[in-house]
């Protein structure tokens, strides 16, 4: 089985190479493009020489990395050894393994392979790369998972053998929801900026000077032309981003399996993420300015996972996009003891102006500087003030809290309305802040911190009635 040291699937050499290439693409492009019109003879060839060497280096590196990496299970530990000159060993006790996450890239799928990421409990060193098996057979991954399950459950009751059958589908994202999510996501911005960078690189490559003279005649026409071009680029970028999101999230499903939440998604690249229920610290519901009017929200799990930090928000979205009206029902089937749509206690009327002031002071300073420096046109920046007052007012309108039994709900808004739902026994610390000015008007703010990833995540509400903050603090107090 897996008690002998063994290598990953050879395809991982290719994956290493591709990964290395992705990291090196910017320096490579810099070497090739930026220096291309300088130096002659040998010097002119230098960039190609350098990039050729770099490529060879990456290729060999990928292969060596594959050859030197071995893994096996021994003494209740998952052991990995790698490194060419310095041998690095990493032994992970299996009962410290929190979960295995699977993902299948395009290279994995035809060969029935899977990439395994090992999530360990507790705060691991963030800078250290997480344990990862780049490509192993699916069958093997399943064995490993089964093995870990056995060891973990052996302390308690003898684990039932019907492990496969307990997996139970609780939520499947509809195509319509995925489409709405893709259409309203911010991914378009990323693609556009990428395209712009590419265009600016491309311009260097063209014989701009020669074209320039001809272009000057075109200038009248070209304003329109450029406008159309920009619009076209925007539309294409938007289309690509929509397509990518749809591919990434299609067949998004959530399963429950004996104390774990399992999320799978993806059409070309399949991903599977496991979150043990007892690591869940709370949930966060996000409603942004675009999705809220459409009645949609995103639900994210706040988990005390070890190494999820990097793309935690992506991976922990248990409901990437859900109709606000269905949310309660769907969430109930996944996490039984979290209650939504409870009546809210809100900040008092007298804090309305404070919210607005909090939002507009900075834009006010900015726009007065702008007005002074660019006198007539700069006055336009004053338009920022009503916009931010409105944001401040919305922030006041939506802020609120609720206590029910052991559950605390905090709602706050900046641009995105965020609803935090947490349990008393998961809150790491609670904090009341009151400035000297607030002391006279008996207002105070409250903040609760949860553990999230390797760090913390705080929910904070401004300008509550001071007595309310005392209610919250005594709810939290263990005395």
Partner 1 sequence: MKVPTQRISTRALTLWRLYGVIQAGVAALLVIGTGITTYLFDWPLWPLLSVSIVLAAIIILNIGVIPSVRWKRWRYEVRDQEIELQYGLFIITRTLVPMVRVQHVDTEQGPLLRKYKLATISISTAATTHKVPALDEGEAEELRHSISSLARVAEDDV
**Min separation Cβ 154 and partner 1, Å:** 17
Nearer to partner 1, 27 or 433 (CB): 433
Nearer CB in complex with partner 1: 141/446: 446
Residues 6+ apart with CB under 8 A from 40: none
Cβ at position 115, least distance to partner 1 in Å = 27
Which of 310, 328 has the CB closer to partner 1? 310
Cα-Cα-Cα-Cα torsion 327, 328, 331, 337, nearest 10 degrees, comes to: 160
Q: How far apart are CA 78 and CA 71, in angstroms?
A: 7
Burial of 326: CB neighbours in 10 Å, binned 0-12, 13-18, 19+: middle
The residue among 245 and 469 lying less far from partner 1, judged by its C-beta, is: 469
Residue 458: CB minimum distance to partner 1, A: 8
Residues of this chain that bind partner 1 (CB under 8 A)? 122-123, 278-279, 281, 304, 425-436, 439, 449-452, 455-457, 470, 473-474, 476-479
Tell me the backbone φ, ψ of residue 303, rounded to 5 degrees: -120, 150
Q: Cβ closer to partner 1: 203 or 436? A: 436
Q: Please, what is the minimum distance in Å from the beta carbon of residue 451 to partner 1?
A: 4
Minimum CB–partner distance for residue 281 and partner 1 (Å): 7
Answer yes or no: are the C-beta atoms of 353 and 443 closer than 8 Å.
no
d(CA 390, CA 198): 37
Name the one residue in this structure whose structure tokens are 């699937």. Answer: 9
Nearer to partner 1, 181 or 261 (CB): 261
Kindly state the tokens that stand for 49. Answer: 């020489």
Contact 450, 431 (CB under 8 A): no
Structure tokens at 176: 């319509």
CA angle 476, 478, 479 (to 5 degrees): 125
Residue among 385, 338, 387, 395 at smallest CA distance from 362: 385
Residue 283 CB, nearest approach to partner 1 (Å): 15
Q: Write down the least CB distance from residue 152 to partner 1, Å.
A: 12
Q: How far is the CB of 123 from partner 1 (least distance, A)?
A: 7
Smallest separation, CB 261 to partner 1 (Å): 16
* Beta carbon nearer to partner 1, 36 or 435: 435
Asked whether 241 and 187 are in contact (CB, 8 A), the reply is: yes
CB-based contact 472:461 (threshold 8 Å):
no
CA contacts within 13 A on the Cβ side of 89: 8
- Give the C-alpha separation, 140 to 6, whole Å: 12
Kindly calculate the radius of gyration of the chain based on its CA atoms and give it in whole angstroms.
27
Smallest distance from partner 1 to CB 276, Å = 10
Q: Pick the closer one to partner 1 by CB: 360 or 472.
A: 472
CB of 428 to partner 1, least distance (A): 4
Of the pair 200, 477, the CB lying nearest partner 1 is at 477
Which residue's CB is nearer to partner 1, number 323 or number 470?
Answer: 470
**450 Cβ partners below 8 Å, 6+ apart?**
281, 282, 302, 420, 422, 426, 427, 428, 456, 457, 458, 459
Query: Within 13 Å, how many C-alpha atoms sit on residue 339's CB side?
Result: 10
User: H/E element holding 463?
Assistant: strand 455-465
CB 407 within 8 A of CB 339: yes
Q: Which is nearer to partner 1, 348 or 456 (CB)?
A: 456
Our CB check for partner 1 shows the closer of 397 and 426 to be: 426
Contacts of residue 361, defined as CB under 8 A and 6 or more positions apart, other chains included, come to none
The CB-of-473 to partner 1 minimum distance in angstroms stands at 6
Give the burial class of 416: count Cβ atoms within 10 A of its Cβ; 0-12 exposed, 13-18 middle, 19 or more buried. Answer: middle
């Amino acid at each position: 089985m897996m008690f002998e040291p063994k290598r990953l699937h050879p395809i991982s050499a290719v994956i290493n190479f591709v990964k290395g290439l992705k990291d090196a693409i910017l320096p490579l492009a810099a070497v090739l493009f930026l220096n291309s019109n300088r130096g002659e003879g040998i010097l002119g060839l230098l960039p190609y020489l350098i990039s050729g060497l770099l490529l060879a280096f990456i290729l060999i590196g990928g292969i060596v990395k594959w050859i030197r990496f071995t893994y096996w299970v021994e003494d209740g530990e998952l052991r990995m050894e790698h490194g060419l000159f310095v041998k690095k060993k990493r032994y992970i006790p299996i009962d410290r393994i929190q979960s295995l996450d699977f993902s299948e890239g395009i290279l994995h799928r035809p060969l029935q392979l899977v990439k395994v990421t090992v999530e360990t409990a507790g705060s691991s060193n963030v800078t250290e790369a997480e344990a990862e098996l780049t490509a192993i057979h699916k069958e093997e991954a399943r064995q490993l998972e089964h093995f870990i399950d056995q060891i973990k459950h052996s302390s308690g009751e003898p684990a039932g053998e019907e492990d496969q059958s307990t997996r139970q589908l609780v939520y499947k994202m509809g195509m319509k929801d995925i489409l709405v999510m893709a259409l309203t996501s911010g991914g378009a911005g990323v693609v556009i900026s990428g395209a712009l960078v590419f265009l600016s690189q491309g311009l260097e490559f063209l014989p701009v000077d020669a074209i320039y003279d001809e272009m000057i005649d075109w200038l009248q026409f070209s304003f329109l032309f450029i406008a159309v071009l920009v619009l076209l680029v925007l539309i294409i970028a938007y289309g690509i981003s929509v397509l990518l999101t749809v591919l990434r999230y299609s067949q998004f499903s959530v399963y429950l399996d004996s104390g774990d939440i399992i999320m799978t998604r993806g059409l070309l690249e399949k991903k599977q993420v496991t979150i043990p229920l007892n690591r869940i610290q709370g949930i966060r519901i996000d409603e942004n300015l675009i999705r809220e009017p459409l009645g949609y929200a995103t639900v994210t799990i706040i988990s005390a996972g070890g190494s999820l930090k990097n793309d935690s928000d992506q991976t922990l979205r248990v409901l990437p996009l859900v109709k606000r009206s269905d949310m309660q029902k769907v969430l109930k089937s996944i996490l039984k003891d979290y209650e939504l749509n409870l009546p809210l206690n809100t900040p008092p009327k007298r804090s309305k102006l404070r919210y607005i002031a909090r939002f507009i002071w900075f834009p006010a300073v900015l726009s007065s500087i702008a007005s002074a420096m660019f006198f007539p046109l700069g006055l336009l920046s004053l338009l920022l003030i009503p916009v931010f007052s409105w944001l401040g007012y919305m922030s006041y309108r939506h802020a609120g809290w609720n206590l029910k039994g052991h559950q605390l709900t905090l709602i706050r808004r900046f641009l995105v309305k965020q609803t935090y739902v947490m349990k008393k026994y998961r809150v790491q610390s609670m904090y009341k802040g009151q400035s000297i000015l607030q002391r006279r008007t008996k207002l105070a703010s409250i903040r609760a911190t949860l553990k999230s990833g390797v760090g913390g995540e705080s929910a904070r509400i401004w300008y509550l009635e001071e007595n309310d903050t005392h209610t919250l603090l005594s709810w939290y107090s263990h005395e």
